[in-house]
Structure 1
Amino acid sequence: MIRRYVVLAVTGLCLVSSAAVASPTCTKEPQDKWLGEEAMKLKIAQMGFKDIKVFKKTTTGCYEIYGYNADGRKAEVYFNPVTGEIVENNVD
């Protein structure tokens, strides 16, 4: 009986922690309303991000990058693909 509660507790913790690392929802607009990839990359560069290692579309309606910010710190950033605005900025 105790084992069952432990398994349930661990399963619940796993679900909560996996939800915490999910990417944000940036837009529900169709992709034909998004900035083109080249235009978005230019906008990102103008914001000071550089050495972009990853640039991709997420399943939650974002453009996501892994690179470095203007201060040279590692950054994982999610952008609204319609406006180009930063939705979430994770810097190490």
Structure 2
Amino acid sequence: MRKLIPLAIAAAAIAVLPSSPASATGAIKCQAGPQSGWKTQDVLKAKLVKEGWTVRKSKVDGGCYEVYGTTPEGDRVEAYFHPVSLEKLYVSRRGEVLFRKPGY
């Protein structure tokens, strides 16, 4: 019985604690305006393929295009691009920053 009381108190304390809301995992935030002014992800993919990238997945994150793929040098990376200009903003490999545009 004595062992159950601390367990019950801990369970009650956890139940009362406020949970934190889920947040975007994006390393970069873009102030790109309304999506109606953005170029499509397909245009970005075509541009990257032309440059020698292999694109596995792309999505919108933090108002930017986030791309998972392989660079022409063979690095498997996570990269962020501005959705209007398609400018490269950030590239990382397993937590190591390979490129970061100043100001981002």
Q: Are 1:39 and 2:43 an aligned pair?
A: yes
- Listed one character per residue, the Cα deviations across residues 8-27 of structure 1 (whole Å, up to 9, x for unaligned) are xxxxxxxxxxxxx6421123
Larger radius of gyration: 2
Number of residues paired by the alignment? 71
**Aligned Cα RMSD in Å?**
1.9
TM-score scaled by structure 2? 0.60
Q: Which runs of 5+ in 2 are unaligned?
A: 1-24, 95-104
Listed as ranges, the gaps of 5+ residues in structure 1 are 1-20
Q: Does 1:86 align with 2:102?
A: no
Within a 5 Å distance, the mapping from 1:1-92 to structure 2 comes to: 22-50=26-54, 52-58=55-61, 60-92=62-94
Tell me the TM-score normalised to structure 1 length.
Answer: 0.67
Q: Which has the higher helix share?
A: 1
Higher relative contact order (CA 8 A, sep 6+): 1
